[in-house]
């Protein structure tokens, strides 16, 4: 097993520790502190998204990133009747600042980012830290198990045309790890065995988010959304799985909860 195969492990671990500490403190604080963190992350991802879709639009990338961060923060502080229009307004307005070819992708991915960010804040404030930690635990377990299983076991690729590094062994390991997280959460959530099923569904949604971002990067010809996080690339690279799970949980709560 070559050392190069694991060359990204140390920077990934160090960055992960920093993100874990910052995230843990913000989740514990909750309220406006957590909302500000999530809003800033969403703004950063919108900035990355514009840079991927229209690299020449540097000014618009900064502007739309800042406006999206403000919109996410504002939407968490306002009643839904005012918060939802505010949340989506930078994305809908921003579509017309970009080239025609980039508008649809910006609209779809931009709405995904801000709605998922809003969901994380809502989840912390309305359902409590335990539910938020469960969702994060599912995504992290999926990512970690998938990373190591993919490196050590390898095997057939899940979707080589879109995400060349993903394997069936890694994806399956992620589902199993998510089920274990769900088993620990089953009693606290009151869902029983349903927590295991829900955790696996969230794991699949997390992987779908990862694949969606990989497809976007392949389409735009970039390796990483940015270089903000050593070993992980950009915010969008690191949190695409979180976004996928958050979007799936929003659908679950809205239509099935």
What distance in Å separates the CA atoms of residue 208 and residue 212, rounded to the nearest whole number?
6
Of residues 232 and 123, more confidently modeled: 123
pLDDT of residue 8: 61
pLDDT of residue 13: 79
pLDDT of residue 1: 43
Find out whether 246 and 116 touch, Cβ atoms under 8 Å: yes
Number of neighbours of residue 131 by Cβ within 10 angstroms: 16
Q: Which helix (H) or strand (E) holds 223?
A: none
Q: pLDDT by residue (tens digit) across 143-200? A: 888 888 877 886 677 767 777 677 888 889 999 999 999 999 988 777 788 899 999 9
pLDDT of residue 167: 81
Q: Tell me, what DSSP letter sits at residue 156? A: S
Average pLDDT over every residue of 65-82: 94
Of residues 87 and 17, more confidently modeled: 87
Locus of tokens 């923060």: 73
Of the candidate ranges 56-60, 153-157, 248-252, the one whose mean pLDDT is the lowest: 153-157
Tokens of 15: 């960055």
Average pLDDT over every residue of 94-102: 93
pLDDT of residue 164: 67
State the pTM of this model.
Answer: 0.90
Q: pLDDT by residue (tens digit) across 108-118? A: 999 999 999 99
Q: pLDDT by residue (tens digit) across 23-39? A: 899 999 999 999 999 99
Q: pLDDT by residue (tens digit) across 196-242? A: 999 999 999 999 999 999 999 999 999 889 988 876 789 999 899 99
pLDDT of residue 233: 82
What distance in Å separates the CA atoms of residue 142 and residue 159, rounded to the nearest whole number?
17
- Tell me whether strands 157-159 and 163-167 are parallel, antiparallel or unpaired: antiparallel
What distance in Å separates the CA atoms of residue 157 and residue 159, rounded to the nearest whole number?
6
Whole-number average pLDDT of the chain: 89
């Amino acid at each position: 097993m070559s050392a190069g195969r694991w060359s990204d492990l140390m920077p990934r671990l160090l960055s992960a520790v920093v993100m874990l500490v910052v995230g843990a403190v913000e989740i514990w604080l909750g309220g406006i502190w957590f909302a500000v963190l999530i809003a800033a992350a969403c703004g950063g991802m919108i900035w990355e998204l514009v840079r991927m879709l229209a690299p020449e639009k540097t000014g618009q990338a900064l502007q739309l990133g800042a406006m999206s961060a403000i919109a996410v923060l504002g939407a968490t502080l306002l009643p839904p009747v005012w918060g939802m229009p505010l949340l989506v307004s930078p994305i809908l307005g921003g579509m017309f600042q970009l080239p025609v070819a980039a508008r649809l992708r910006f609209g779809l991915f931009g709405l995904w980012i801000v709605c998922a960010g809003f969901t994380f804040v809502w989840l912390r404030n309305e359902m409590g830290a335990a539910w938020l930690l469960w969702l994060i635990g599912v995504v992290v377990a999926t990512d970690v198990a998938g990373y190591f299983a993919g490196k050590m076991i390898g095997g057939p690729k899940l979707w080589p045309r879109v995400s060349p590094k993903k394997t069936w062994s890694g994806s399956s390991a992620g589902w199993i790890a998510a089920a274990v997280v769900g088993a620990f959460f089953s009693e606290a959530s009151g869902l029983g065995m349903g927590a295991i099923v829900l955790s696996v569904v969230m794991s699949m949604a997390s992987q779908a988010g990862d694949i969606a971002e990989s497809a976007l990067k392949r389409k735009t010809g970039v390796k990483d959304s940015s270089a903000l996080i050593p070993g992980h690339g950009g915010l969008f690279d690191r949190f695409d799985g979180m976004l996928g799970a958050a979007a799936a949980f929003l659908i679950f709560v809205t239509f099935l909860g």
